[in-house]
Amino acid sequence: MSKDDNVSSPRLTKTFDTSVFKAKAKIQDVARLAEVSLGTVSAVLNGKGRVSTATRDRVQAAIVQLNYRPDLYASNLARRNTQILGVIVSNLENPFFAETANAVEIEAERHGFQISLMATNFSPVRHRSSVERMLGARIAGLAVLTSEHDEQSRKLILASGIPSVFLDYGSPTESSATIRVDSGGGMRLAVEHLLALGHRDFLFVRNSHKGAGPPLLSHRLRDEGFAAAVQDCNVPGVHAHAIDTEGPGADAGEKAIAQALGSIRFTAAVAVTDTVAMGMYRGLQARGLSIPKDVSVVGFDNTYFCRFLHPPLTTVDIPRTELSRAVLAALLRKGESCEELSSTLATSLIVRQSTGPPNRQSKSMA
């Protein structure tokens, strides 16, 4: 038992005039007030080490009295490494990115890490700024989980030498891994499902972002996957049309339906994301069309709200738990090479009530 554990009462034997702490209180102040060593305070803060209940209570009382907050940045500098991982996503209003960031945070916590999160809002300029700020924060690793990509930003990350992982972009290097989502396979599952129900007239809806540079990589991969699935299906009489409308997902989906009805023949509509599908729901139902009686709808991402749409949305699932585990394995690799840790994430189709056999008398038939 250390000398710190000899005092059985959690009551502090000293009192400080805390008004003198105009600056932020330091760990030394906590140790002095609680009459313990710096190591004991550190053990209490980190939940590690053998510290008696009485001593722990006394340290925590000192922390409260001094309003002490650990300086994580200073702690990281002292250790010459960090317990913080950077995560960059495209947009936090999009449920897919919010859910992915949450899954990575949960997985990081399992390994004793925290995350620092930034969103680009699909802007190449903000993408590069986010990378520069992350690299300046001495993070332990960086996950770039965005739909848009910037080659100059990637070069900055690779030049830094920190462990990194990219979603759907680049090839593995000595310090960087790549996780690819099987978007083509997911679209193939969606098309095969609709073909099996009897659909032959398809509408594919994607949305573009004004000023966001080239088409979003994830959208391009899903677009190509849909086109390949239709081309390779070997089913006679299949016709597919694509519409690209500008704006946020739900707005774009609603506008696409207004544009398509009366000019395009379709009984099934496939959306590039679930948020686009949500807008398509509004566009169809506002015009008196029933889902799936008049039009079957399929989304992509399997975001949280899919189960609560009316009817629940059939969608392609990207497993967030598997994605987060792959991200952490890449950033915290132990002996494995980045090439070994680079992987393709399988997708699956979650069939719900938004898809059914075609109605050849539907008002959606031009």
pLDDT, position 3: 46
Of the pLDDT bands very low, low, confident and very high (cuts 50, 70, 90), residue 155 is very high
Q: What is the pLDDT of residues 175-213, one digit of tens each?
A: 999 999 999 999 999 999 999 999 999 999 998 866 555
What average pLDDT does the chain have?
87
pLDDT, position 359: 85
Asked whether the beta carbons of 345 and 320 are under 8 A apart, the reply is no
Of the pLDDT bands very low, low, confident and very high (cuts 50, 70, 90), residue 174 is very high
Of the pLDDT bands very low, low, confident and very high (cuts 50, 70, 90), residue 14 is low
165-177: string of b/e by CB count within 10 Å (b at 16+)? bbbbbbebeebbb
* CA–CA dist 311, 354 (Å, integer): 6
Of the pLDDT bands very low, low, confident and very high (cuts 50, 70, 90), residue 81 is low
Sign of torsion over alpha carbons 216, 221, 225, 231: positive
pLDDT, position 72: 55
Mean pLDDT of 78-105: 88
Q: What is the pLDDT of residues 226-285, one digit of tens each?
A: 999 999 998 999 999 999 998 888 999 999 999 999 899 999 999 999 999 999 999 999
* CA–CA dist 10, 263 (Å, integer): 77
Could you count the other beta carbons within 10 Å of the beta carbon of residue 139? 26
pLDDT, position 364: 57
CA-to-CA dists, residue 121 to 35, 37, 207, 255, angstroms: 49, 46, 14, 21
By mean pLDDT, which of 15-24, 131-140, 160-169 is the weakest? 15-24
pLDDT, position 30: 87
Residues 6+ apart with CB under 8 A from 103: 320, 321, 323, 324
Tell me, what amino acid is at 308? Answer: F
Of the pLDDT bands very low, low, confident and very high (cuts 50, 70, 90), residue 216 is confident
> Residue 362: pLDDT above 70?
no
Phi and psi, residue 272, nearest 5°: -70, -25
Return the SS3 of 20.
helix
Q: What percent of the chain has pLDDT over 90?
A: 63
- The neighbouring-strand residues paired with 165 are 143, 177
Show the tokens assigned to 100: 């992915």
Sign of torsion over alpha carbons 54, 59, 64, 65: positive
Q: Which domains does the chain have, with CATH numbers?
A: 3-70 (1.10.260.40), 79-181+320-346 (3.40.50.2300), 183-318 (3.40.50.2300)
Of the pLDDT bands very low, low, confident and very high (cuts 50, 70, 90), residue 148 is confident
Asked whether the beta carbons of 117 and 85 are under 8 A apart, the reply is no
* CA–CA dist 5, 51 (Å, integer): 7
Positions of E strands within 105-147:
114-119, 141-145
Q: What is the pLDDT of residues 15-39, one digit of tens each?
A: 555 554 446 788 888 889 989 888 8
Contacts 24+ apart (CB under 8 A), 220-223: 221/168, 221/181, 221/183, 221/184, 222/183, 222/186, 222/187, 222/272, 222/300, 223/272
